[in-house]
Structure 1
């Protein structure tokens, strides 16, 4: 087995020393972007040398980015260079605008392709979109980084895609997990056989049955976790045990609605600090849930591993006509040190919404917390005390059990 570079096999001490040097430089660069300078305030970059120090900085949410872009288009003051200095400007749903650069694998997905065994001699059938959104360019940049050729196929026109794949002999599929099945089924319908031996996928759920179906057709499929804002966050290796965090980002798992890191193994929201000098997002909340896996990957890569996508952290729910947000649940917990976790459950009784607030605590007087519930959630609800550690480890702080069937 070969590694992409020496960064992948560093010891924990080596990685901590590297972060101690990189983090202050990244915070200093971020301070040259107007919006980030306002968010960071008077933070001294040379004091941010550890993950613990990083965890004291504010979390940036996509809603803040979107609002800033409306005020200061196109990037809202979050980049360290003006828009004309980037080779590309992309638009994602929202709309959110993202910068892009060519050369040196700006989004860093080359590490993922290398781990998947893609390299020189391969031709990648790139079915990610090339129009407006950056995914197509992200994977094309990665292909150049590992020496592979690319067919810029984009999406749609499946029969033409099959024809091109057969004529060119593309060896690797890149795209969403489900579109590969559409291509394979179309090829079978046309009496053709595709030459794919590997698939590198993202942007959708790779269900075990789907992965196994591809394996039965001789296609080894691995997935990565990446976003248009941050580039590569984490990726699978052939070991297939969780997703390994990229070497140029720092990932934290925090309790939804807060910026507080959770213990290893507990489900929470993925927050990422990217060391990209052009777009240095600091503690950017992805809105996705995951958890840290203990230990290191059997493949020999030593960085932190996460379980992969486990749902959405933005659980804002309307109950009795009022929105209840994760931040409000976090505020409820913060008011009472003896409460370790809370969970708001929305249900129905006849045609009426009902709200139950489950509190993990050793206390035994539920009535004591009714005033705080009303004050923080702006709604009355039944308070139920449960034993510490009894709430599910699924990252949910608001659960909607209502059915409208």
Structure 2
């Protein structure tokens, strides 16, 4: 299979030398975006030539991006192009708006797909969403980069997914980790045999039990760590030892709530600087926890490795591949005058994410389920509890899932 390009196997010293050249150029370009010009107004781009200098720059947090977008929609002044100069404008829950372009592999998913053995001759059944959010287009762009064909399947409609997979002979599944099991189970019920031999997944945790279940069915499953704002951040290779940082981003692990890097191996918050000239986010706080792994991957790729997703640095939680944010929970409470507090609980049933929404209320007649669907963008079990009964611990989102 080989490597995607020579960047993957560079000597680490060569990579740092290239970084010293790329960072000043990237920061100079970033300062042409109005919001970044304000944030970096006291920064001399020529002086930022290594990770230590980068670590002295301010951190950009999702809340700042969201607030900037409210004041100056759609992108809050964080892009170097006007909205009409992009090929796509996406809306993620929040709402948060993200740009996209067709040129090249704009989100850099091709490197991950290549490392997963996907290429010419494959047909990818892309079960990421195409409606408003960018994940579908992100993976389609990656498939195009490795010359694979795509069935733009989107989410849901399981019986039609099975029918298409059988008729077309799709060889690779792309989507959230647990939806593949839904398709496979439905195929079993229909008496159909699918041709999937590969699965490229993201948008949620790939539990070891689920990976093993797919392996027993002859499907090699690999996962990436990507976001709508940043594109691909890190990805698994055949070594299956941590996740290798993508060549188009700089990853730092910092103490949560600060911009201070932590020692290798210590768990902290993931900050990402993307070298994308159109959307050059600098030290963007993902809210995710991870840690740097010592050494390099046995597969021969030499970039930094991280341990993958290890939880959230804040209460924002990904459920069924969608982020649920504290501000959304507040909006849910505000919709119903009889609801005093709410708590969203993420859990597992079998191999599936499930969401429970507990509402403190003395009422019984509100259309709470419809509000949950509209505000949180997914269905959940609604439980009405007595006023004052939820724990007084400040939590509005609780993740009960276990990842070991």
Quickly name the TM-score band, shorter chain normalised.
Answer: 0.7 to 0.9
Alignment of 1:6-405 (within 5 A): 6-314=6-314
Q: Deviations over 1:380-401 (max 9, x none)?
A: xxxxxxxxxxxxxxxxxxx999
Aligned mates of 1:283, 1:68 — CA distance in 2: 16
- SS of the aligned residue for 1:177 comes to coil
Provide runs of 4+ in structure 1 moved above 4 Å. Answer: 350-355
Shift of 1:352: 9.3
Q: Deviations over 1:199-252 (max 9, x none)?
A: 000001110000000000000000000000000000000100000000010000
Q: TM-score, normalised by structure 2?
A: 0.79
Aligned mates of 2:128, 2:88 — CA distance in 1: 16
Residue in 2 that maps onto 1:373: none
Shift of 1:103: 2.2
Q: Deviations over 1:5-62 (max 9, x none)?
A: 0000001110010000000001001100000011112200000000000000000000
Aligned mates of 1:243, 1:133 — CA distance in 2: 24
Larger of the two Rg values belongs to structure:
1
Unaligned runs of 5+ in 2: 317-325, 327-388
Aligned mates of 2:390, 2:34 — CA distance in 1: 50
Aligned mates of 1:143, 1:81 — CA distance in 2: 25
Q: Deviations over 1:342-383 (max 9, x none)?
A: xxxxxxxx999699xxxxxxxxxxxxxxxxxxxxxxxxxxxx
Unaligned runs of 5+ in 1: 318-349, 356-398
Q: Deviations over 1:239-287 (max 9, x none)?
A: 0000000001000000001000000000000000000000000000000
Aligned mates of 1:306, 1:14 — CA distance in 2: 20
Q: TM-score, normalised by structure 1?
A: 0.78
Aligned mates of 1:213, 1:43 — CA distance in 2: 51
Question: Given the superposition, is the C-alpha separation of residues 120 and 252 from structure 1 closer, same or farther in structure 2, using an over 3 Å criterion?
Answer: same
Question: Given the superposition, is the C-alpha separation of residues 267 and 352 from structure 1 closer, same or farther in structure 2, using an over 3 Å criterion?
Answer: closer
Question: Given the superposition, is the C-alpha separation of residues 174 and 22 from structure 1 closer, same or farther in structure 2, using an over 3 Å criterion?
Answer: same
Aligned mates of 2:257, 2:55 — CA distance in 1: 14
**Number of paired residues?**
327
